Amino acid sequence: MKKIIILLSIFIITSTLSAQDADDLVKTGDIMPEFKLTSTVNGNIDSKELKGKIILINIFATWCPPCQLELAEIKNDLWPKYKDNPKFVMLTVGREHSDEELTKYNEKKGFTFPLYPDQKRDFTSKFATKSIPRSYIVDETGKIIYTSLGFQKKEFESLMKILDEKLSK
């Protein structure tokens, strides 16, 4: 009986990890996919115009509790530290949200960083098919050098450390 439980547990864990891997469309080491973000509030972004920058991409939803924790860390620690660095670009993208929804949300939260809509998942579908929050760091050559899924304080500290290293050069 113990063997069956152990084998069943291994199967479930392996299936879960395989499903999670299938969800990731880009991984560390991949080149960032080309994209365009359109916002009537914050302007338009074309990935081709970001060459030479260190880019942090954060994908979230307003209804997602882990996203709220991560966005609070961005608001309190990350954005104040890096917002004035000319080598840094942060793209905080609301999956399945419109400019109007994000404006109302921002009025409640008081973020000073731009929020970009991705109402039809045109942007987010280039990175992953489900599961948020997600963060990606892209280096100045366009290569993804960091990915994270979900929010954990320790993981966020790793993200901050990588940004420190890349932006202090």
State residue 2's pLDDT score.
Answer: 54
85: left (phi over 0), alpha (psi -120 to 50) or beta: beta
pLDDT averaged over 10-residue windows placed end to end, the chain, 169 residues: 45 37 77 95 95 97 96 96 97 96 95 95 90 95 96 95 92
Superfamily of domain 30-168 in CATH is Glutaredoxin (3.40.30.10)
State residue 17's pLDDT score.
Answer: 36
Cβ-count burial 17-29 (b if 16+ within 10 Å, e if not): eeeeeeebebeee
pTM: 0.84
Domain regions of the chain by residue span:
30-168
